[in-house]
Chain A
Amino acid sequence: MSETDTTETRNRWGRPGRERGRTDGKFGRYGGQYVPEALMPAIEELTDAYERYVLDNEDGFMDEFRERLADFGGRPTPLQRADRLSERYDREIYLKREDLLHGGAHKLNNALGQVLLAKYMGKERIIAETGAGQHGTATAMAAAHLDMPCTVYMGERDINRQRPNVFRMKLNGSDVKPVTAGRGTLKEAISETMRDWAATVEDTHYVIGSVVGPHPFPVMVRDFHAAISEEAREQSIEATGRLPTDVIACAGGGSNTMGSFTAFVDDESVALHAVEAGGSTLEVDEEAGVAPNSASLFAGGEGVLHGARTKLLQDSHGQIMESHSISSGLDYAGVGPELAYLVDEGRVNPVAVDDDAALEGFHRLSRTEGIIPALETAHAFGFLEEHAEELRDRVIVTVSGRGDKDLDAAIEETDKRDIEGAPDMSMFTGGL
């Protein structure tokens, strides 16, 4: 497997591993379509559109998608050797720079794909949910770029944590609707967006933000993000003549994870590490219904949430727990069904990194490589620090997003801790 010719991109699109889930939305015992009946016709219509436009490139959809990802998004993103980290860990460490994609995170891949698909389907309106605001801002950018009206549902608590992203969405002309139910985070925003969709399916497309939800969302979102690992695989071979030995990506819902892993799943020599948010602890507070982490692959159980059977954080009765993480982008009680399957199969190694280690990773990458990562991304570097000895000699870490959006949170959290090499942030606490 040493295909480096870019003209073969289309052939790789149909590589065997990518067929998983495409026909029936099932990944072993996971996946499916657990949605209210009113949504089923929309799901079936979307499945049909996915098969025609994405899989069969009808009307040149995929050509236009790739062209726009290049011209508007800035793909391909670089695979950069991290010199200081390579030295520190005595391994070749490469960074897949999704933080350099337009918008500052990998999220645009999927948002652009889905908004464009909605246009091909003749839909007139876009709705989306957002946690950290990364998917919301990406959707708002894509909607503005493609001239589609867009409404974004966002938990009230997340709105307060991510004000700059709220402004960005509004600047792009999107309507941001606060969701006050529950703890006001991502899972409530998803439920609320599904409610909107149930009432408006005929003219509205729901741009889901991760590889979660009912079929075809998990496969479709994976396919839109697959460029991350397709490029990284090719770039690795080009730069070093070899495949990487290890790929590391942070995992919340799993879009960055699946995007980073997909092209490598069939390369059995490549170890795949999904780094979840371990939060403050992996212990759960059953009484309060709170899991102070978002480690659904690592610590969750099987269940049904938001349209799919997957691994999730739930209490002993099956009520969904409130997750928690220092990074709101990982703060979700479920995870993509394909990831749950790949973990059960032993193909993906699920690991949890706590808030402290993630924050240390945030500072380490900023200081040593000149890249301020998103707090989501920082978890991957926390894992690298803690487990470098267990990795082999050629490691790719996906920098899923840049950290500008997290500066307030990073300053506040840094001030609470004693982090080696971190600057004194006390003069900034209280907000920039």
Chain B
Amino acid sequence: MAENESTADAGRDGDTASTGNSKAIASAFADGPAYIPYLAVGDPDYDASLAYVEALDRGGADIIELGLPFSEPIAEGPTIQGAVVRALEGGMTPDRFFAFVEELDVDAPLVCMTYYNLIYQYGEGEGPRPFVERAAAAGIEGFVVPDLPAEEADPLREACDEFGLDLVFIVAPTTAGERLERIMEHVSGYVYVQARLGTTGAKSDVSDQTTESLARIREYDVPKAVGFGISTGEHAERIVAGGADGVIVGSALVDIVAAGHEEDRATDEVAGELTALSRELKAGAERGYAARTTDGDAEASAEPASPGESR
């Protein structure tokens, strides 16, 4: 691992290299595919949420995306919207979120996923810097901000650079040309490849839009993590075999939390299910990676040998 402060290079023997700030995030992609689960912090309450996030870590998470709930989650589908509502009703605030992050006992680096207004409003003075400073102090390594386009991202990116955090951007199936270039100039850590159009949510098929999206950004030197609609180990396997450096899973995990809440089940039991699904997803991702490397042609395998047409 050859790394320095300004441009931590994942140094993966000519494979995907990170241009990011966070060494921890770069390392997460350094030796195999990254399994990146998401949960909304505080869903359904603070203590249970703590146990659930730690369960993801036990299940092999390489990076964990922690949702800081915002009242208008315009990029989320009904599943994560439900999580956000439960977390807000449970009293989650940015300061409680940071306390949560500080209390959390996990190995995986943490990425905060939230909307720009919460970042912008935090603390004294104007702009995103106070939020980023506080997040860095709490141990956050990066951000995903779905309603912040690259065009408006300079202040946040500057603050991230100052505190050594990454700023992850989402690339949609419709992103191309100048927009794609602009995003790729601003992205650090990893790029979040949106597998299909629409908002977040578990779907049974993994669109071949993913394959096209991966092909479009193959030349960019940053890890590519695919999200939206991944809910099984088999999905993860196919996505990674198709050239992804990581898989992001949110709704399938939130579904477990939601069911546990509705059925009033014990926290340990729900946490056990989260760990089990995490292990399945992680194992699937590793199988996909192994298939890719035994092909001896990892870089060129953006078109997987077994895409999802048959499903």
Contacts and interface: CB of A to CB of B under 8 A. Distances in A.
Contacts of A146: none
Contacts of A200: 197
Interface string B100-129: 000000000000000111101110000000
A40 B72 contact: no
Contact of A187 (B72, B151, B176): B72
Nearest to B152: A32
Q: B interface, by DSSP: helix, strand, loop or mixed?
A: loop
A319 B94 CA distance: 10
B232 to A, nearest CB: 22
B70 interface: yes
Contacts of B194: 37-38
Given A37-B170, A304-B147, A199 B117 contact: no
Contacts of B88: 319
A181 B81 contact: yes
Nearest to B94: A317
Nearest to A25: B151
A423 interface: no
Given A34-B147, A35-B149, A194-B74, A304 B199 contact: no
Interface residues of B, number: 40
A204 to B, nearest CB: 11
Contacts, number: 112
Nearest to B199: A195
B121 A318 contact: yes
Nearest to A38: B172
Given A195-B199, A303-B121, A182 B71 contact: yes
A340 to B, nearest CB: 14
Interface string A304-325: 1111000000101111100000
Give the one of A40, A182, A202, A319 with max B CB within 10 A: A319
Given A41-B175, A191-B72, A317-B93, A34 B121 contact: no
A304 B120 contact: yes
Contacts of A181: 81, 85
A301 B115 CA distance: 17
A319 B70 contact: yes
Given A181-B81, A303-B121, A318-B118, A38 B198 contact: yes
A2 B126 CA distance: 44
B171 interface: yes
A318 B72 contact: no
Contacts of B122: 317-318
B13 to A, nearest CB: 31
Nearest to B228: A38
A33 B85 CA distance: 25
B199 A199 contact: yes
Interface in A195-212: 195, 198-202
Interface string A250-289: 0000000000000000000000000000000000000001
Nearest to B88: A319
A33 B150 CA distance: 10
A199 B75 CA distance: 10
B188 to A, nearest CB: 16
Contacts of B120: 303-304, 318
A40 B120 CA distance: 21
B72 A34 contact: no
B143 interface: no
Q: Which 9 A-B pairs have the closest CB atoms?
A: A318-B121, A199-B198, A38-B172, A36-B75, A41-B174, A319-B71, A304-B117, A318-B117, A37-B170
23 contacts: A32-B152, A34-B147, A34-B148, A35-B74, A36-B147, A37-B170, A37-B171, A37-B183, A38-B172, A38-B194, A38-B198, A191-B72, A194-B74, A195-B76, A198-B197, A200-B197, A201-B197, A289-B71, A301-B121, A305-B117, A316-B121, A320-B71, A320-B117
Given A36-B170, A37-B175, A314-B117, 13 more contacts: A32-B151, A38-B173, A41-B176, A182-B85, A191-B73, A195-B74, A198-B197, A198-B199, A202-B174, A303-B120, A318-B70, A319-B70, A319-B118
